[in-house]
């Protein structure tokens, strides 16, 4: 193993050489949308369970004025601000997704990049876009190259790979050279973690793991900048990440294919519902049925939902937990709860995932009638990835209302445009207590829309200080 052969060095060389002008327009636009979406869902998530407590802990113990803790009007050390902001951005499970890589990318990269930019100062919009684009691409590449799913491996790829993508973004903004950035990757490997047990247990660490990655990124890049060394064989070494963590279940050719030319952030999708992406096709189908038919809850005998095996394992089992979620995390990862909410309320938005909503007996009673199962046609067409769903509402008397599709993309939300994300941003801000016409809301949307022409992205931090 030499410094020239490990993927960490290939990535590092690409990251320090890339310029804004090298990035295709669709990748720039994807990054712009990711920035807007991440900031919006973070503002909506700031009052979620665990976030207020973490804010208080960080502001009390790490009061260095380097970077803004979004929505608090206060600042902390850059690494700890990234930790809190990443946690808030992931708290509602409303952040971006890469369906093929099975992860969220922006939730670690964006908080790390913005905290670094605010700390060092003088970072232009073009340089922020470049750094975030590099980070998003690397997180998605690692996920796309991995050939075992997160449930099977036990690793939460959002945070595990987020350590490296966020480190790439932070290192770029700290102006590390290729050697330093490669060592920063090795330092990130010393910290990298993130498990799927948090989903099984419905624990609040589910939302904190991407924050850990954002914090670890600033730590890694900062240590490399002062000469601390990391591993050389970070990914491909005898005890490198892909062997130790993933049993070599990855494809090196996918990891490095067209790096610097093709940017996988363009394949990120953005959520219309604040729940696990595996629930979205079923939610969409249920909402369409509820919109077309005047369904009376008391007339429903049962609701059958057909999905693929990954969806069944992630958001349908164990059934007794999914039908009566113990925690908000349980509800976010529950097709029975989400489908029942869609049918009864005609909308699945942030208020559906509060402790008060989880106590709604009408929703819980209908969730108990939802019967998820693996649909053979869907499983055949989508054995590993996010899949469509089929929803059948069986009424007393024998009538059946059917929605969704076992093939194609029917029942799956389309990618959201910048304008659609701007409306989502406004709704998130309104949920957080800021009217849609609030100056900070409109100002942030305008700044990100025209980000290439922003001289210092501390303007974004200023607008996020008290929340839009």
Residue range 222-259, pLDDT digits in tens: 999 999 999 999 999 999 999 999 999 999 999 999 99
What average pLDDT values come out for the chain (468 residues) when binned by 10 residues? 80 97 98 97 93 95 92 94 98 93 96 98 98 98 95 95 98 98 98 94 94 98 98 96 96 96 96 93 95 94 96 94 94 97 96 94 98 96 87 96 76 74 94 78 94 96 81
Task: Give residue 1's pLDDT.
Answer: 45
The number of beta carbons lying within 10 Å of the beta carbon of residue 318 is 8
Which residue carries 């903004």 as its tokens? 173
Q: How far apart are CA 227 and CA 224, in angstroms?
A: 5
User: First and final CA of the chain: distance in angstroms?
Assistant: 49
- What is the 3 state secondary structure string of 143-186? HHHECCCHHHHCECHHHHCHHHHHHHHHHHHCCCCHHHHHHHHH
The phi and psi torsions of 373 (rounded to 5 degrees) equal: -160, 160
Question: Could you tell me which CATH number the domain at 277-404 has?
Answer: 3.30.1330.120
Q: DSSP per residue over 445-457, as a string?
A: HHHHHTGGG-S-T
Q: Which CATH superfamily is domain 7-270+443-465 in?
A: 2-methylcitrate dehydratase PrpD (1.10.4100.10)
Which residue carries 């970077």 as its tokens? 67
The number of beta carbons lying within 10 Å of the beta carbon of residue 338 is 32
Task: Give residue 412's pLDDT.
Answer: 53
Which of helix, strand or coil describes residue 4? coil
- Asked if omega into 318 is within 30° of 0 (cis), the reply is yes
Which of helix, strand or coil describes residue 242? helix
Q: Which residues of 8-23 are buried (b: 16+ CB within 10 A; e: fewer)?
A: bbbbbbbbbebebeeb
Tokens of 177: 């050279």
Domain ranges of the chain: 7-270+443-465, 277-404
Conformational region of residue 97, where left means phi above 0, alpha means psi within -120 to 50, and beta covers everything else = beta
């Amino acid at each position: 193993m030499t410094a020239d052969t490990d993927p960490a060095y290939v990535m590092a060389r690409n990251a320090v050489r890339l310029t804004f002008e090298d990035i295709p327009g669709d990748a720039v636009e994807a990054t712009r949308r990711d920035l807007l979406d991440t900031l919006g869902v973070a503002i909506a998530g700031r009052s979620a369970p665990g976030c207020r407590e973490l804010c208080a802990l960080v502001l009390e113990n790490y009061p260095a004025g380097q970077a803004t803790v979004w929505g608090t009007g206060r600042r902390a050390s850059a690494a700890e601000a990234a930790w809190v902001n990443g946690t808030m951005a992931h708290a509602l499970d409303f952040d971006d997704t890469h369906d093929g890589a099975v992860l969220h990318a922006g939730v670690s990269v964006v908080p790390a990049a913005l905290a670094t930019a605010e700390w060092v100062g003088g970072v232009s919009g073009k340089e922020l876009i470049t750094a975030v684009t590099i980070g998003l691409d690397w997180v998605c590449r690692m996920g796309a190259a991995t050939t075992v799913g997160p449930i099977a491996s036990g690793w939460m790829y959002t945070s595990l790979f987020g350590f490296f993508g966020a480190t790439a973004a932070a290192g770029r903004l700290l102006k590390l050279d290729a050697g330093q950035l490669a060592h920063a990757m090795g330092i990130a490997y010393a910290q990298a973690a993130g498990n799927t047990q948090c989903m099984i247990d419905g624990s609040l660490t589910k939302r904190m793991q991407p924050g850990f990655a954002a914090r670890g990124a600033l730590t890694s890049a900062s240590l490399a900048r002062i000469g601390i060394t990391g591993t050389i064989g970070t990914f491909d070494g005898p005890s490198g990440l892909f062997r130790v963590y993933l049993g070599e279940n990855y494809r090196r050719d996918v990891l490095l294919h067209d790096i610097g030319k093709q940017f996988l952030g363009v394949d990120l999708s953005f959520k219309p519902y604040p729940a696990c992406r595996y629930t979205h096709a079923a939610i969409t189908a249920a909402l369409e049925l509820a919109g077309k038919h005047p369904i009376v809850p008391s007339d429903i005998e049962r609701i059958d939902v057909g999905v693929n095996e990954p969806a069944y394992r992630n958001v349908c089992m164990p059934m007794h937990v999914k039908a009566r979620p113990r925690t908000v995390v349980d509800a976010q990862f529950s097709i029975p709860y989400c489908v029942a909410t869609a049918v009864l309320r005609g909308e699945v938005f942030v208020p559906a995932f509060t402790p008060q909503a989880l106590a709604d007996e009408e929703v819980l009673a209908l969730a108990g009638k939802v019967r998820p199962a693996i649909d053979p046609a869907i499983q055949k067409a989508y054995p590993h990835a996010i899949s469509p769903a089929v929803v059948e509402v069986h009424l007393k008397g024998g009538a059946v209302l059917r929605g969704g599709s076992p093939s194609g993309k029917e029942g799956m939300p389309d990618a959201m445009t910048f304008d659609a994300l701007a409306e989502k941003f406004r709704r998130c801000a309104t949920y957080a207590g800021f009217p849609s016409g609030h100056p900070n809301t409109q100002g942030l949307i305008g700044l990100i829309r025209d980000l290439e022409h922003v001289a210092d992205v501390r303007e974004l931090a200023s607008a996020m200080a008290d929340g839009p």
